[in-house]
Amino acid sequence: MLASSHNQVLVVCSIIVAILASYTALNMASRVSSASGRSAVLWLVGGSFAMGFGIWSMHFIGMLAFRLPIALGYDVPLTLLSLLIAIASSALALYLVCQDKLPWGRLVSGGVLMGLGIACMHYTGMEAMRMNPHIFYVPWIVVLSIVIAIIASMAALWLAFRLREEAKRATFARIGAALVMGCAIIGMHYTGMAASKFPINSFCGAANSGIDTKWLAVLVIIVSLSVFAIALIVSMLDVRTSRLANSLPGFGRI
């Protein structure tokens, strides 16, 4: 098998992105639960995109940290598909968190679907390399990576739902939930990478026809910073607007 390694600086960056994405999404999810109608839908969509892009960015920062002794690239359609899967999984998670109740049945099913979504995003992103011969996966490690994603997703959904009931400690609870959700993404990714084996004489079919790793790095950085900045700025503006509405007599009734 080809020898592989990871750039430790980029690994740390991927961890930070995963946690920031989770915190941003949870912050926006709290707006959904306190909003109604079209406003709630917009917050849900915004949170789904913020978290989805965050999960996707974390995966590809992790892939940029991954080193093989051959040139690498990524198939455009499969890369975009992995992004759509990440957004859809995030939308499901935030939708469940914003419901009035979260019974155990819904928590388990939601955690399973979210965990499978994260895993599906990861392995679709791996397929985007178009390796030949095909990547060999160690079965039991693949199963372990999916189990990690599901368990951590369930824990994150439960924490995210509970934090809505503790307004005074919402910030600390949200940070805790973001750490757990980040661990779901990170744990799944790097366990999945441990399951990946690349046979000798392998070559990347997308190295010449797909996205070059340098351009992918630029794209991921720009997208990540833009999404997080926009999401946090909008959240801050919403908080200030709400406070203004509460401080001015009759403002909220206009």
pLDDT score recorded for residue 231: 65
The pair of structure tokens assigned to 105 is 């049945």
- CA 99, CA 40: separation in Å to the nearest integer? 12
pLDDT over 70 (residue 234): no
- CA 247, CA 241: separation in Å to the nearest integer? 10
pLDDT over 60 (residue 254): no
**pTM for this prediction:** 0.83
pLDDT over 70 (residue 10): yes
pLDDT score recorded for residue 238: 60
How close are the terminal C-alpha atoms of the chain, in Å? 68
Q: pLDDT of 92-120, one tens digit each?
A: 887 887 777 888 888 888 889 888 988 99
pLDDT score recorded for residue 240: 63
CA trace torsion 90, 93, 95, 97 (10° rounding): -140
Q: Which position has the token pair 């946690």?
A: 19
Q: pLDDT of 130-142, one tens digit each?
A: 999 999 999 999 9
The pair of structure tokens assigned to 64 is 């940029």
pLDDT over 60 (residue 32): yes
- Which of the four pLDDT bands, split at 50, 70 and 90, describes residue 242? low
| Average pLDDT of the segment spanning 3-9 | 87
R_g (Cα) of the chain, nearest Å: 19
pLDDT over 60 (residue 166): no
Residues in the chain: 254
- CA 81, CA 70: separation in Å to the nearest integer? 24
Long-range contacts of 171-177 (CB under 8 A, 24+ apart): 174/23, 174/26, 174/27, 174/30, 175/23, 177/22, 177/26
What average pLDDT is seen over the chain? 81
Q: Which stretches of the chain are DSSP H helices?
A: 8-34, 37-65, 76-97, 104-127, 139-163, 170-195, 213-247
134: DSSP letter:
P
- CA 68, CA 60: separation in Å to the nearest integer? 15
254: DSSP letter:
-
